[in-house]
Amino acid sequence: DAGVIQSPRHEVTEMGQEVTLRCKPISGHNSLFWYRQTMMRGLELLIYFNNNVPIDDSGMPEDRFSAKMPNASFSTLKIQPSEPRDSAVYFCASSLGSGRFYEQYFGPGTRLTVT
């Protein structure tokens, strides 16, 4: 079975440009999570969807970040405009259910570099 799929795997962009990261969760999973990993802050949750509905977006850094989940098999994380401090690895994860009862399965990540 395919795991969580993320694209692109690497993205290099200039400051001020729009960046869109994509995620396809594991089929049948109804929860989706976006995380950001940096050396300074470690792994941080950005936003969490359950049944395509955003449940908790308190981790989204600022208005430049937005996320959507138009259907059960696709989600995007958009940064507009991008800044150098957004450089990080962005992970998408999915799970069978919500909350603590289910383990999350992570995608390979998107390494974003903003110059």
Partner 1 sequence: AQKVTQAQTEISVVEKEDVTLDCVYETRDTTYYLFWYKQPPSGELVFLIRRNSFDEQNEISGRYSWNFQKSTSSFNFTITASQVVDSAVYFCALSETGANNLFFGTGTRLTVIP
Residues making contact with partner 1 (CB under 8 A): 31, 33, 42-43, 45, 48, 50, 55-56, 59, 89, 91, 93, 98-101, 103-109, 111
Phi/psi of residue 52, each to 5°?
A: 75, 0
Q: Which is nearer to partner 1, 26 or 114 (CB)?
A: 26
Q: Could you give the 3-state DSSP secondary structure of residue 86?
A: helix
Q: Which is nearer to partner 1, 19 or 92 (CB)?
A: 92
Sign of CA dihedral 13, 16, 18, 24: positive
Q: Which is nearer to partner 1, 12 or 55 (CB)?
A: 55
The least CB distance from residue 109 to partner 1, in Å, is 5
Are the beta carbons of 81 and 15 closer than 8 angstroms? yes
Q: Which is nearer to partner 1, 42 or 70 (CB)?
A: 42
The least CB distance from residue 2 to partner 1, in Å, is 13
The least CB distance from residue 7 to partner 1, in Å, is 14
Are the beta carbons of 4 and 94 closer than 8 angstroms? yes
Q: Comparing C-alpha atoms, which of 81, 86, 106, 112 is closest to residue 8?
A: 112
